Amino acid sequence: MELGIHLYTFIFLAILAISYLLFITLKHVLSKKKRAKVREKINKESLFIDKLEIYMTQEKPYENPELSRYDLAKALKVHPDYLTNTLNKKLGMNFREYINRYRVEEVKNLINNGLRRELTLEAIGYEAGFSSRSTFFRVFRNIEGVTPSEYSNTVRRITK
């Protein structure tokens, strides 16, 4: 009788040990798969940001003052939520901030290339895609730390 109890105890402990080993193995395998999925997602997001940057540089959609996240997402063949979530996650900015940074860079390029002699600053802002004078001046100052006029005057002094 005593041998039977020891045998059952041994079998129970053996099953418990095998179950534990299977659990640990399964946990490890699932953890590896999860890490692989996270890496894949990060890589996909990075490739998307690269694609977005190329599109923004070549096509200049920011010059359209009516540009929406829906328009840009459609052009890039992604869901608008994916676009905005990726901008937030990878670049730490929302859609408007992202677009306005391109607009400010365009204004700076236009001023640096001498367009200031032909157009008013307000007209340059409209060329870059800003829809109002007040938004243009506010956004430019927030990003650059100076007004468009101050920037233009600095460029003019440097190029003389």
d(CA 131, CA 65): 5
Section 64-80 average pLDDT:
97
All residues at 6 or more sequence positions from 93 whose CB lies less than 8 Å from its CB, including other chains: 87, 101
pLDDT digits (tens, 9 = 90+) for 103-138: 999 999 999 987 677 889 999 999 999 999 999 999
Residue 27: predicted pLDDT: 75
Residue 27 has a CB neighbour count (10 Å cut-off) of 10
Confidence of residue 142 (pLDDT cuts 50, 70, 90): very high
Looking at the chain, the whole-number percentage of residues with pLDDT higher than 70 is: 89
Residue 72: predicted pLDDT: 97
Contact 125, 136 (CB under 8 A): yes
**83 pLDDT above the threshold of 60:** yes
CA 115 to chain centre: 31
Residue 151: which of 126, 121, 127, 123 has the closest Cα?
121
Residue 25: predicted pLDDT: 76
**139 pLDDT above the threshold of 80:** yes
pLDDT digits (tens, 9 = 90+) for 96-112: 999 999 999 999 999 99
Residue 2: predicted pLDDT: 64
**30 pLDDT above the threshold of 70:** no
Query: Residue 96 is encoded by which pair of tokens?
Result: 């408007």
